[in-house]
Each structure stands twice: as structure tokens, then as C-alpha cells.
Amino acid sequence: MDRLLVLVRHGQSEWNLKNLFTGWRDVGLSEKGIAEARAAGKKLKDKGFQFDVAYTSALSRAQHTLTLMLEELGQPGLPTIRDQALNERDYGDLTGLNKDDARKKWGEEQVHIWRRSYDVAPPGGESLKDTLARSLPYYMKLIQPDVLSGKRVLVSAHGNSIRSLIMAIEGLTPEQILKRELETGVPVVYRLGADSRPLSVETLA
């Protein structure tokens, strides 16, 4: 039984390129992001992977990344489930602001706390802990049972929603997950045991 789970952070978005806080704002992929998504699909194809089901967020940059990966995999019609439980964290009042401008307004230390603390949310937004509170139950209810039943599952989502899943899968502490960097368009491949713990993890950089 495969118990294959692949997590991919969407390709670079137009707002990633402009150094803006994006969150739930629905922006498209940049040209580089489109290339990253296609490259991710090619890497998965080169490894011989095929999938039974895909999950993605309610935001178009993750959905577009998935569409491009599936085209490269030769699986354009793969059954796909979309849900806002997998959305990026909501940056609240920071959404749309340039990160450097935000530092000028609130100070370097405060912006760093909002971006890199586990349980401190920006004004009107979500912390990583809040993101985990919606993405983890979704993973436990839908994604993990699919993987444990032997389905090969591909997830295209966002930096912080994927961090939440990695935290659960690998049993990381809040301190450990905050240090985990996730590059855009780079697949993280897990093989899970029957107890849901990872037997192996590989990053296809």
C-alpha cells in the first residue's frame, strides 16, 4: 500500500513578487509561479507518481498551481476537492501592504512577531495557531483517511496551511514549525505508515 501524500506550496504569486501580504486576497500566479508549478508537475512525473485524488484551497493561485501540475502529470481530470480550510492564513489589516511599509508603520520587531510567532495574530487576522485550528481538523477528517486507505493524495495549498499539516504529520513543536521554510512550487513527498506517522519524507527541490 502506497500511503503517498505530496504537499506543494503554490507557485510564486503576483503579490509574492511585489513583497505584499496576500492572505485570503485572491491573486494570480506570476510568470515565475507558472513555471514553478509546471516544474513541480514534471518532477513528480519523473518520479513516476500518479495520484487518485487532489485537495486544494478556495484561492485561485493554489488551484492554478494544481491544474498546471496535473497537466504535466497527464492527469487533467483528477478528482479534486476545494475548501477554504486549506486557505493561507488571513493577514487581516496587513493584507495588501508591502512588507517593508508595514515595518515602517508598526516596527520591525512587531511585524516579525506577527509573521513568525505561533499564536500572535496581526490586527483582524489569523495566527499560525488559528490557521492550524481550521486546517488540521480538515486534514484529520478527509485527507489523512484517504492516504491511510491507500489513495495517493496531492495537496496544493499555501505556506501556512501546509506548515500546519507538516506540524501535525511530523509531530513538530510550535518552535520547530516556525523555523521550517517552504519554497514555492517545491513538492514535499511523504510515505505514511499505518499509524499515520511518516516513514519517509523527501523534498523535490
Q: What is the reported pLDDT for 1?
A: 80
From first CA to last CA, the distance across the chain in angstroms is 25
Question: Active site includes 109?
Answer: no
Predicted local confidence at residue 175, as pLDDT: 86
The answer to whether residue 115 is domain-embedded is no
Query: Would you say the C-alpha torsion 120, 125, 128, 134 has a positive or negative sign?
Result: positive
Specify the number of domains making up the chain: 1
Is 118 part of a structural domain of the chain? no
Does residue 10 fall inside a structural domain?
yes
Q: Is 175 known to be catalytic?
A: no
CATH for 160: 3.40.50.1240
Residue 120 inside a domain? The answer is no
124 in any annotated domain:
no
pLDDT at residue 178, as a whole number: 82
Which residue range is the domain that position 45 belongs to? 4-89+147-203
Q: Is 202 helix (H, G, I), strand (E, B) or coil?
A: strand
Residue 106 lies in a domain: no
Number of H helices, E strands in the chain: 9, 6
Among 36, 72, 88, 126, which one carries the catalytic annotation?
A: 88
Identify whether 154 is part of a domain: yes
* pTM (2 d.p.): 0.95
Q: Shortest CA distance to 80 belongs to which of 142, 149, 148?
A: 142
The tens-digit pLDDT sequence of the chain (205 residues) is 889 999 999 999 999 999 999 999 999 999 999 999 999 999 999 999 999 999 999 999 999 999 999 999 999 999 999 999 999 999 999 999 999 999 999 999 999 999 888 999 999 999 999 999 999 999 999 999 999 999 999 999 999 999 989 998 999 998 898 888 899 999 999 999 999 999 999 999 8
Asked if residue 109 belongs to a domain, the reply is no
Task: Out of 10, 36, 72, 126, pick the active-site residue.
Answer: 10
